[in-house]
Homo-oligomer: A and B are copies of this chain.
Amino acid sequence: MTSTEITPEEKEQLEELYAGFAAAHMTPLWTQIGDLMPSSPRPAAVPALWRWSTLLPLAERAGELVPVGRGGERRAIALANPGLPGTPYATPTLWAAIQYLGPREEAPAHRHTQTAFRFVVDGEGVWTNVEGDPVAMRRGDLLLTPGMHFHEHHNTTDHPMAWLDGLDIPLVRQLDGGFFEFGPDELGTRETPVTSRNERLWGHPGLTPVGAPATPASPLKAYRWEHTDAALRAQLELEQEGQPGVVEPGHAVVRFTNPATAGDCLATIRCEMHRLRPGAHTATTRTAGSSVWQVFEGTGSVSVGDETYDVADGDVFAVPSWAPLTIRTDAGLDAFRFSDEPVFEALGLTRTSLEDASREDAQA
């Protein structure tokens, strides 16, 4: 296929051949293989940062100007990766948005095959009713809305509330796998219990409620900051005591899991909370697949590919596939991370490297 020297006649024959391909809706591999099958991922998505100090005022302004209700469904504004122009996607598989609900506002019920979570970087006062079970949303909490679960939101207070939405919209869109249904226009319940029913059944460590209905998705829909914080603190304390628990020096991680299967809390999205001790830094890691992080508390410096960002509470950044990532902190840092790793694991595509590509290690 190396056509170093071709005659005019050959050129004409080739052009005719390629025109024949085009007419027949055919495309030769040999002209495209470098782009289609690069030696390592060349994502169109780029490292990107969205500052909370930018996101929140724009969401507030949208709260003043744009009503929430049936049709538009949610006052959610997506973080659009500059490398994926024309799409509202944070990465090729992950959607990240800031959602904003004004005082006493309500968002009506719907359900869809796309899987969703909410992570609350600040505030409280909203309940999300998941299949009729009212779930309080409070600072530091992770709340799940697995695929095809009806959900609606209502703000019970006189102040607004904003949070991070994460979904697999880009993945499901690419797969042409999405189904969507409206629920009733009226809210199913306006109860505001401190603890949701799913937590009362499933929120006890190592204890399975034998009489609870079986469900393919996680029966636990709320992971409270109180527990997440305690788990991270324990890992760092154990490290101080010389015991195992952290993933690397000064770096604690908990993964949010489905207590009925011990697998990821969502079928297509991995959710984790990371804590770096003051003065700690992570190894430089590459991972096949993309992720989005939101700083929960603290400050630090994040290097993604060739970019380096100083980050603080609420800042969101996207990490494209195989981009080297390093996080450093002087004062300590808590950060929420979500990624498409469950997809890579299910399809046998998992691969990570530490420090540098020479130590790259394929994992089955």
Cβ contacts under 8 Å, A202 to chain B: 205-206
Of B234, B237, B254, the residue contacting A208 (CB under 8 A) is: B254
Q: Which stretch from A117-125, A306-314, A340-348 is at the chain B interface?
A: A340-348
Q: How far is the CB of A285 from chain B (nearest CB, A)?
A: 13
Cβ contacts under 8 Å, A20 to chain B: 58, 61
Cβ contacts under 8 Å, A348 to chain B: 147, 216-217, 267-268
Q: At the interface, yes or no: A320 with Cβ under 8 Å from chain B?
A: yes
B201, A220: Cβ atoms under 8 Å? no
Cβ contacts under 8 Å, A197 to chain B: 238, 243, 245
Interface size class of A (residues with CB under 8 A): 35 or more
Cβ contacts under 8 Å, A68 to chain B: 1
Q: At the interface, yes or no: A364 with Cβ under 8 Å from chain B?
A: yes
Known A-B contacts A62-B17, A343-B347, A349-B147; A76 and B24 likewise in contact (beta carbons under 8 Å): no
Of B27, B261, B321, the residue contacting A177 (CB under 8 A) is: B321
B207, A27: Cβ atoms under 8 Å? no
Please give me the residue from chain B that is nearest to A51 by CB atom. Answer: B24
Copies in the complex: 4
Of B43, B148, B206, the residue contacting A223 (CB under 8 A) is: B206
Of B25, B210, B255, the residue contacting A81 (CB under 8 A) is: B25
Known A-B contacts A50-B24, A76-B28, A77-B26; A259 and B256 likewise in contact (beta carbons under 8 Å): no
Q: Which stretch from A34-42, A276-284, A297-305, A326-334 is at the chain B interface?
A: A34-42
Please give me the residue from chain B that is nearest to A199 by CB atom. Answer: B205
B1, A67: Cβ atoms under 8 Å? yes
Of B55, B180, B209, B231, the residue contacting A38 (CB under 8 A) is: B180
Of B58, B113, B322, the residue contacting A176 (CB under 8 A) is: B322
Q: How far is the CB of A341 from chain B (nearest CB, A)?
A: 11
B25, A79: Cβ atoms under 8 Å? yes
Of B74, B173, B254, B255, the residue contacting A30 (CB under 8 A) is: B74
Give the distance in Å from the alpha carbon of A223 to the alpha carbon of B81 in the complex: 44
